[in-house]
């Protein structure tokens, strides 16, 4: 990797087992002060060999400009979550080949997932940094702490150096159809610095032009929007203020209400966004809850035309309120919708994927360690009933084959077929944290060994698979 300003060159080297070390060379000895490892003079300069440690990751980010995450702004972008911390080289390859004009977010993980796996925000960022060096990425990068619900989550992202903060007030969304009682008790008017009459005066009759057709916001929609999202607005304001107060580096916000059961109408999106603006929140992308059909790790299950209409409405609100991006979460493997989504949003779009890179890892396992995949599949099936409640999934365990009944040649199909694919997707937590009697995460360890030995194959599978996601977004 080249950094012409100070001539420092860093690379990640692998031995025959796939184990990695960092190599840094520079003509200026002081450049190496931040790094740890063994250094020596070499030719006209100095060379250091060191571990892939937090110290060295931080040193890389402070000496190599493009490795330092930055806010994405409103240009096209895509987040590629990585549960194992080993996917970035393949992600880089996908962007190098297919991602022209799309800014990558290689470090992206939700607080929930970090906690589930026992990963720190720092590890998430460091793994992405080393992956960038290994695959020689020299473009800009973002870094997204996803689905933050607490100020403590914000602090974790800030301390690690993340730059995008996806604030998720979803726990505060209220179902207006089952909510009982007086509207003044259901909406936190005090923290919103508002009252119902003022709300109606402000926005009632506002017209949004959706593909040439005016959509007029009614009093009913506003009051319903306030019941449903008023507390969520107040919570977003709280989180946003904390972020702005505490941040010592450039940061940006995404607002995400996609992880609730209640679909966000275009009028409700308008209510939320207009209110957040009034209360001083500034954000670059917004993830509403779309019409059903976004299940984990599989094709879009709804009608693409309906989704396009939905997206055009959301994009119209975003444009009218300042031109932020529409964010598509659970975006993995939905090849049928990407072109329509780019078109409907005029390219003001952010795509988030995550679990699909874990599934690509399982393809490597299916090819090279059949028994390990059967074991992972067995654990995933057992955990499916427990964990399915937290995901949008519809796989039926009973329609999937028993682990013992799957031949080596059929293991690839297991990763590809709808029901077993979803089961494997959702089972990652129990698989990666499964321990033996000694307390070792034996499946996680075994998986990492396979991926180290076959890191080239893993990177190629990822480059192809993520590349198929990227192509419709590239410009
Ligand atoms: Zn999401």
User: Per-residue pLDDT tens for 384-421?
Assistant: 988 777 777 889 999 999 999 999 999 999 999 999 99
CA of residue 457 to ligand 1 center, whole Å: 29
pLDDT of residue 300: 94
pLDDT digits (tens, 9 = 90+) for 90-113: 999 999 999 999 999 999 999 999
Phi and psi angles of residue 349, each rounded to the nearest 5 degrees, phi first:
-145, 145
Domain residue spans in the chain?
2-63, 77-354, 357-466
CA of residue 190 to ligand 1 center, whole Å: 29
Angstrom distance (rounded) from CA 3 to CA 194: 52
pLDDT of residue 296: 84
251, pLDDT greater than 80: yes
- What average pLDDT does this structure show over 195-199? 96
- What average pLDDT does this structure show over 187-192? 95
What does the block give as tokens for 391? 């995901």
Q: Which residue has the higher pLDDT, 137 or 212?
A: 137
Question: Of the listed 254, 295, 333, 363, which one is catalytic?
Answer: 254
Contact criterion met (CB below 8 Å) for 292 and 302 = yes
Instruction: Give the pLDDT band of residue 467 (cuts 50, 70, 90).
Output: very high
Average pLDDT over the chain reads: 95
pLDDT of residue 3: 45
pLDDT of residue 388: 76
pLDDT of residue 184: 73
CA of residue 258 to ligand 1 center, whole Å: 6
Say whether 146 is catalytic: yes
Nearest to 147 by CA among 257, 12, 52: 257
Question: Of the listed 82, 126, 127, 146, which one is catalytic?
Answer: 146
Angstrom distance (rounded) from CA 157 to CA 145: 6
183, pLDDT greater than 80: no
CA of residue 178 to ligand 1 center, whole Å: 24
60, pLDDT greater than 50: yes
The residue assigned the tokens 């460091």 is 126
pLDDT of residue 211: 85
Angstrom distance (rounded) from CA 21 to CA 157: 26
pLDDT digits (tens, 9 = 90+) for 324-370: 999 999 899 999 999 999 999 999 999 999 999 999 999 999 999 99
3-state secondary structure the chain: CEECCCCEEEEEEECCCCCEEEEEEECCHHHHHHCCCEEEEECCEEEEEECCCHHHHHHHHHHCHHHCCCCCCCCCEEEECCCCCCCHHHHHHHHHHHCCCCEEECEEEEHHHHHHHCCCHHHHHHHHHHHHHHCCCCCCCCEEEEEECCHHHHHHHHHHCCCEEEECCHHHCCCCCCCCCCHHHHCCCCCCCCCHHHHHHHHCCCEEEECCEEEECCHHHHHHHHHHHHHHHHHHHHHHHHHHHHCCCCCEEEEECCCCCCCCCHHHHHHHHHHHHHCCCCCCEEECCCCCCCCCCCCCCCCHHHHHHHHHHHHHHHHHCCCCEEEECCCCCCCCCHHHHHHHCCCCEEEEECHHHHHHHHHHHHHHCHHHHHHHHHHHHHHHHHHHHHCCCCCCHHHCCCHHHCCHHHHHHHHHCHHHHHHHHHCHHHHHHCCCCCCCCHHHHHHHHHHHHCHHHHHHHHHHHHHHHHCCCCC
CA of residue 54 to ligand 1 center, whole Å: 28
CA of residue 111 to ligand 1 center, whole Å: 11
- What average pLDDT does this structure show over 39-60? 95
- What average pLDDT does this structure show over 243-271? 97
465, pLDDT greater than 60: yes
Which residues are near ligand 1, the ion (C-beta closer than 5 Å)? 258, 329
CA of residue 392 to ligand 1 center, whole Å: 11
- What average pLDDT does this structure show over 155-163? 98
Q: Which positions ≥6 away from 136 have C-beta within 8 Å?
A: 1, 11, 92
Say whether 254 is catalytic: yes
Range in 15-19, 75-79, 168-172 with the lowest mean pLDDT: 15-19
The residue assigned the tokens 């795509």 is 351
pLDDT digits (tens, 9 = 90+) for 429-444: 999 999 999 999 999 9
250, pLDDT greater than 80: yes
CA of residue 354 to ligand 1 center, whole Å: 10
CA of residue 217 to ligand 1 center, whole Å: 27
Range in 179-193, 260-274, 403-417 with the lowest mean pLDDT: 179-193
| Residues 100, 102, 106, 107, Cα dihedral to 10° | 160
- What average pLDDT does this structure show over 3-10? 71
CA of residue 24 to ligand 1 center, whole Å: 37
Task: Specify the CATH architecture of the domain 77-354.
Answer: Alpha-Beta Barrel (3.20)
pLDDT of residue 6: 54
Angstrom distance (rounded) from CA 245 to CA 250: 12
Q: Percentage of residues in the chain with pLDDT exceeding 70?
A: 99
pLDDT of residue 464: 98
CA of residue 254 to ligand 1 center, whole Å: 11
What does the block give as tokens for 458? 């893993």
């Amino acid at each position: 990797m080249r950094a012409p300003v100070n001539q420092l060159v860093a690379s990640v080297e692998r031995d025959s087992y796939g184990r990695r070390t960092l190599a840094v060379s520079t003509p200026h000895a002081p450049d190496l002060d931040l790094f740890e490892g063994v250094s020596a003079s070499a030719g006209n300069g100095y060379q250091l060999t060191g571990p892939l440690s937090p110290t060295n990751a931080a040193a890389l980010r402070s000496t190599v400009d493009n490795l330092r995450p930055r806010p994405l702004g409103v240009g096209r972008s895509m987040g590629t979550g990585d549960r194992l911390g080993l996917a970035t080289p393949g992600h880089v390859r996908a962007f190098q080949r297919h991602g022209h004009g799309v800014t990558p977010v290689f470090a992206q993980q939700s607080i929930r997932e970090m906690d589930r796996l026992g990963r720190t925000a720092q590890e998430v960022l460091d793994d992405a940094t080393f992956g960038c060096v290994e695959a020689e990425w020299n473009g800009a990068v973002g870094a997204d702490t996803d689905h933050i619900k607490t100020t403590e989550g914000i602090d974790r992202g800030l301390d690690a150096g993340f730059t995008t903060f996806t604030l998720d007030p979803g726990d505060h969304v209220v179902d207006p159809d089952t909510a009982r009682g007086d509207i003044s008790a259901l909406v936190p008017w005090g923290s919103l610095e508002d009252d119902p009459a003022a709300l109606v005066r402000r926005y009632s009759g506002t017209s949004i032009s959706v593909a040439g057709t005016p959509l007029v916001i009614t009093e009913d929609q506003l009051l319903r929007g306030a019941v449903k999202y008023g507390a969520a607005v107040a919570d977003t304001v709280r989180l946003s203020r904390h972020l702005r107060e505490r941040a010592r580096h450039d940061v940006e916000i995404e607002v995400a209400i996609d992880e609730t059961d209640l679909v966000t109408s275009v009028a409700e999106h308008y209510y939320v966004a207009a209110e957040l603006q009034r209360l001083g929140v500034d954000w670059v992308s917004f993830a509403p809850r779309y019409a059903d059909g976004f299940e984990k790790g599989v094709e879009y299950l709804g009608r693409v035309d309906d989704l396009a209409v939905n997206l055009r409405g959301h994009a119209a609100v975003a444009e009218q309120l300042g031109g932020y991006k529409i964010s598509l979460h659970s975006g993995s493997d939905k090849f049928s919708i990407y072109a329509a989504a780019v078109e409907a949003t005029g390219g003001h779009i952010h795509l988030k994927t995550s679990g699909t890179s874990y599934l690509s890892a399982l393809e490597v396992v299916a090819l090279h360690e059949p028994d390990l995949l059967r074991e992972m599949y067995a654990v995933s099936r057992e955990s499916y009933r427990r964990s399915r409640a937290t995901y949008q999934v519809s796989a039926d365990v009973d329609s999937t084959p028993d682990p013992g009944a799957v031949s080596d040649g059929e293991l690839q199909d297991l990763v590809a077929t709808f029901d077993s694919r979803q089961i494997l997707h959702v089972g990652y937590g129990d698989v990666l944290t499964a321990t033996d009697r000694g307390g070792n995460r034996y499946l996680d360890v075994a998986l990492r060994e396979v991926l180290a030995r076959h890191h080239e194959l893993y990177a190629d599978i990822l480059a192809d698979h993520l590349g198929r996601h990227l192509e419709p977004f590239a410009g």
